[in-house]
A and B are shown apart, each in its own frame.
Chain A
Amino acid sequence: MKNKYDVLVVGGGPAGALAAKTAVEKGLSALIVEKRPAIGAPVRCAEGIGKEALQEFIEPDPRWISAEMTGAGIVAPDGFFMKLESALAGNKVGYILDRKVFDRELVWKAAEAGADVAVKSRACAPILENGVVRGAKVEYGGKVTDVSAHVVIAADGVESKFSKWCGIDTTVPVREIMSSVQYVMTDIDIDPGATIFYLGNDVAPEGYLWIFPKGKRSANVGIGISGRKSGAGHRAKDYLDKFVKKTFPNGKTIEFIPGGVSVCRPLECSVADGLLIAGDAARVVDPLTGGGIYNAMYTGKLAAEVAADCIGKGDLSKKALMRYDKEWRASKMGKSIERNYHIKEYLIKQSDEKLNEIIHSVSKLNLKEFSTLNLIKEIIRVNPKLMLDLGALAASLR
């Protein structure tokens, strides 16, 4: 670790790794500081990602792919099961990753490209000069060192403390944090090629419960519920334990994973003078699915591209860095977040009866192109009344 870099990246997850890799590929010097002693662990993720989304950044490698998905299923509150399959049999629609290996691979690639990496090293305060972010104080082994940088990319995940220290309010509203627990389970009877989602107020209030296969008889079995529905005796863990006891009484849990996932709107502004915010830290998780891997990689890469451009021009002001904010908001990802936020807001307000009705109505779908958007489009097609409920949003779905 040196005392000066062009780009300082806070956090060694997918956003930070892509940011650092992109920065060094643009000829800049970059350092990733990761406060945890290991990249990729502990996992805080259900590990699902779409096939095409993944391939935009990296070629799939069996070393970090746990399972390939060909379909999905939704279980309605009344227990009715709807299977969704890609029109082309055997067509892969997504992957369940092994994040411990995947995250390492991404950081390795950044390091290989020339980035420096420091683990068990914590950015504990920003270095501010007249309100401009000029680096960070980095704590390692009990010592604090100043690391100066032209620009800092905050990719510090759901906690998003670094930006808070820079004066940006990153607090997630209680109702928009998914309070989550996941067990990695083995020796259970599952469909190894399909992700299954359980909906309903008794199962997962204002959230969902998932089974994401990790092998023939292994899966991530997890749940996220709205923070406002959480409390003593009815927490995420209580709901999950109830489900597991009933559904997989003989399964074995080999990993215990709590977590928080933001399903709020992204930060109002994801840049400041000398600072760009990427990934979960910028609250760019998909509010409907809770998926954040792709969005993290996308914003991490874009943040570094804009940083490189601005360093070249010698202008790291908020105004110059705003190109990053504008670009991701206008992107397919940005639009999808906005649209899915509205759909999420609509769905969490529905009663179990209404959810049953919707799911029954679309039970015989055969989606040509498998995606959340296509599913939503189909739901609206067979429920024209929803068009009215969704109001202005419906227009964007046609």
Chain B
Amino acid sequence: MLTIHRDICGYCGCCVSVCPEGALELIDAYLSVDATCTSCGVCAKVCPLGALEVVNEK
């Protein structure tokens, strides 16, 4: 599952541009992720600040 660390996120939209599912959306200073997210982790990789993290559920 994708976790958004809001204390780190700079709401720049870099992650939105690489999401193959179109699961991320930025509304002003608030990034949201919808159910189409596959936890592929592409967004977490490219984030310039490290605000996104794929956390494996147990």
Contacts and interface: CB of A to CB of B under 8 A. Distances in A.
Contacts of B15: 260
A158 B48 contact: no
A338 to B, nearest CB: 21
B12 A232 contact: no
B14 A179 contact: yes
B9 to A, nearest CB: 9
A131 B8 CA distance: 39
Interface in A68-126: 120, 122
Contacts of A262: 17
A159 B17 contact: yes
Given A230-B47, A237-B49, A159 B18 contact: no
B18 to A, nearest CB: 5
A46 interface: no
Given A44-B12, A256-B10, A259-B12, A171 B49 contact: no
A164 B13 CA distance: 15
B10 A179 contact: no
Contacts of A174: 18, 42, 45-46
A177 B10 contact: no
A136 to B, nearest CB: 15
Contact of A171 (B11, B19, B28): B19
Interface in B15-58: 15-20, 22, 25-28, 42, 45-50
A227 B52 CA distance: 14
B28 A227 contact: no
Interface residues of A, number: 37
A172 B12 CA distance: 15
Contact of A180 (B11, B14, B27): B14
B7 to A, nearest CB: 13
B28 A236 contact: no
A391 B47 CA distance: 35
Given A171-B19, A227-B18, A260 B13 contact: yes
A89 to B, nearest CB: 38
Contacts of B49: 181, 235-237, 258
A347 to B, nearest CB: 20
Interface in A142-201: 157-161, 164-165, 170-174, 177, 179-181
Contacts of B25: 159, 161
Given A164-B22, A171-B19, A174-B42, A230 B48 contact: yes
A153 to B, nearest CB: 19
B28 A36 contact: yes
B17 A237 contact: no
Contact of A259 (B14, B27, B42): B14
Interface of A: 35-37, 42, 44, 120, 122, 157-161, 164-165, 170-174, 177, 179-181, 227-228, 230-232, 235-237, 256-260, 262
Rank and list the top 7 A-B pairs by shortest CB-CB distance, nearest first: A260-B14, A258-B10, A227-B46, A236-B48, A258-B12, A159-B16, A159-B13
9 contacts: A44-B12, A158-B14, A171-B19, A172-B18, A235-B49, A258-B12, A260-B13, A260-B14, A262-B17
Given A158-B16, A237-B48, 13 more contacts: A35-B27, A122-B27, A158-B14, A161-B22, A171-B17, A172-B18, A174-B42, A177-B17, A227-B45, A228-B45, A231-B45, A257-B10, A260-B16
